[in-house]
Amino acid sequence: MGPIFKVSPDGGHQSVFQPGEHSIAWLGLEILKLQPGETWQGELQDEEAALVILGGRCEIAVEAREKASWSGLGARPDIFAGNPTVVYAPRRSKLSVKAETKLELAIAKSPCTVDLKPVLVMPSDVKVVSAGMANWRRDVRLPIPPGSPISQRLIVGETINPPGNWSGIPPHKHEENSAIENFLEEFYLFKTKPADGYGLQLIYKGKDGQGYLIGNDNVAVMLQGYHPTVAAPGVTIGYLWTLAGDSKAYDITTDPRFDWVANAEAVLKELQK
């Protein structure tokens, strides 16, 4: 269904997985943890990247066909404290990051065949959607949403899942290319509040599937199947999610057992008026 990874607590740069590893074709994930004043340089080959500031403040420089640099990026201490700051880096970029405070940054990558421009997405640019109702309500942040011209293949967002609530409802999948569905790989990088809290990630097809206990700094990769998430009571789960495929058309199929959800949400919204 897809592997589960654990991000190391060590500082510096780490590769969690790259395109071509662990049966993953379209996604890569790297994590950067720096102390104030520390720097990191990297280089992209034929791949684009979204640099998502999970917490802290930094300078970022991108040198590709066009050059761009910014300082004072990032305003939140962690994923629970507000919208992300995201820098899109085109293929064949040289990257430079300098931490202004203690910094944690995720680098989501995908193979890329076109030359685009560096783009800065500020927290004020991020659309926030309150999705679902009742115990499947959650907040969804969309720095690089489906259909965005910023990237060739990357779709990037965050979800904040309140205690005891579900996300990914109705359960959906994007595991094949068909008239109604487009194949997209996806990963979730989880953070929990409190840090020792946990939730459950389900990945299933039909009546067969698996449930994974997920905690702070776990990464779930979805290559096939429906994949809803639930937070334990008293635990808020935040997760960075990224999708990529040959086409980034967000064409999905929902589990028919949850066809009632749309009607239920409409009734609940009417009752709230």
pLDDT at residue number 187: 98
Encode pLDDT of 155-187 as tens digits.
999 999 999 999 999 999 999 999 999 999 999
Domain that holds residue 119: 4-272
Average pLDDT over the chain, rounded to an integer: 96
Say which CATH number the domain at 230 has: 2.60.120.10
Section 218-239 average pLDDT? 97
pLDDT at residue number 106: 98
Section 34-41 average pLDDT? 98
The token pair that represents 122 in the structure block: 């500020």
pLDDT at 223 > cutoff 70 = yes
Which of 127, 145, 32 is CA-nearest to residue 83? 127
Encode pLDDT of 139-157 as tens digits.
999 999 999 999 999 999 9
Residue 253, H or E segment? strand 253-254
pLDDT at 272 > cutoff 90 = no
Encode pLDDT of 56-77 as tens digits.
999 999 999 999 999 999 989 9
Section 239-246 average pLDDT? 98
* 209 touches 220 (CB < 8 A): no
Which of 70, 72, 73, 94 is CA-nearest to residue 84? 73
pLDDT at residue number 207: 85
Range name among 200-204, 213-217, 263-267 with the lowest pLDDT average: 263-267
Domains contained in the chain, number: 1
pLDDT at residue number 40: 98
Q: What pTM value is reported for the model? A: 0.96
pLDDT at residue number 266: 87
Encode pLDDT of 3-26 as tens digits.
899 999 999 999 999 999 999 999
Using CA atoms, how far apart are residues 146 and 153, in angstroms rounded to an integer? 9
β-bridge mates for residue 17, sequence order: 29
Exposure on the CB side of residue 27, measured as CA atoms within 13 A:
30
The token pair that represents 244 in the structure block: 């990529």
The token pair that represents 97 in the structure block: 């990051």
Using CA atoms, how far apart are residues 87 and 65, in angstroms rounded to an integer? 16
pLDDT at 1 > cutoff 60 = no
Section 99-120 average pLDDT? 98
pLDDT at residue number 151: 98
pLDDT at residue number 118: 98
Which of 84, 217, 88 is CA-nearest to residue 142? 84
Which of 224, 205, 225, 203 is CA-nearest to residue 214? 203
pLDDT at 263 > cutoff 80 = yes
In the chain, the percentage of residues whose pLDDT exceeds 90 is 94
